[in-house]
Amino acid sequence: MATQSPFSLLEGAFQKLVSTVQPPAWAVQEVQRRIVLLLNHVLMQEKEAMARLARQKGRMVLFQWRDFSFKLQLTPAGLLDLAAAGTPSDLTLAVIETSPAALVQAALAGDKPPVRIEGDVQLAAEVNWLVDHVRWDLEEDLARLIGDAPAHGLTQAVSRVLEVLRGWLKKAAPGAAS
């Protein structure tokens, strides 16, 4: 007997919410700024990543998923900045999967989402290298706030929860044995 994922129940509600409620432009821009700050924080912990991005300075990368888009400019410092609205993209990365539930399931399984790539091949290779090699050391950042032992305990607990979720998703996935 096939088990329906609880994510699919939320899918319809998400679709309806997104189609009827559009956030104001200022809110979207603030969220994008916060994402850029987080990405730059992660990049600054990886010198090789910054060096690779510095070689691509001035290039524009457009990320798209459904109706959402996010254009970044690579800076001479090897970091990211929001690009001006009218600037052309050197590389477009469009996530093909439209279902948020499927994206969450893939992320929990450790899979990359399917992406359509258009534009500069070398820039695409650099972005792919970043995706494959740069990781956020959340435990280290938490340790600065709450101390080493609590940060370690918290990240271990989150890791265990994610392992349980991954196992549950493998069992609930279509075609999985019951």
The domains of the chain are located at 6-135, 137-178
Amino acid letter at 173?
A
Q: Which of 124, 129, 123, 102 is nearest to 113 (CA)?
A: 102
- For residue 20, give the amino acid letter: T
| Count of other CB atoms within 10 angstroms of residue 49 | 19
Instruction: Output the CA angle 20-11-103, nearest 5 degrees.
Output: 115
For residues 136-169, one letter each, b for 16 or more C-beta atoms within 10 angstroms of the residue's C-beta and e for the rest, the string is eeebeebbeeeeeeebeeebeeeeeeeeeeeeeb
Assess whether pLDDT exceeds 60 at residue 127. Answer: yes
The predicted model scores a pTM of 0.71
Q: Which of 23-27, 56-60, 62-66, 85-89 has the highest mean pLDDT?
A: 56-60
CATH topology assigned to domain 6-135: Nonspecific Lipid-transfer Protein; Chain A (3.30.1050)
Reported confidence tier of residue 14, pLDDT bands at 50, 70, 90: low
Determine the distance from the C-alpha atom of residue 86 to the mean position of all C-alpha atoms in its chain, rounded to a whole number: 24
Of 10-19, 36-45, 62-71, which range is least confident? Answer: 10-19
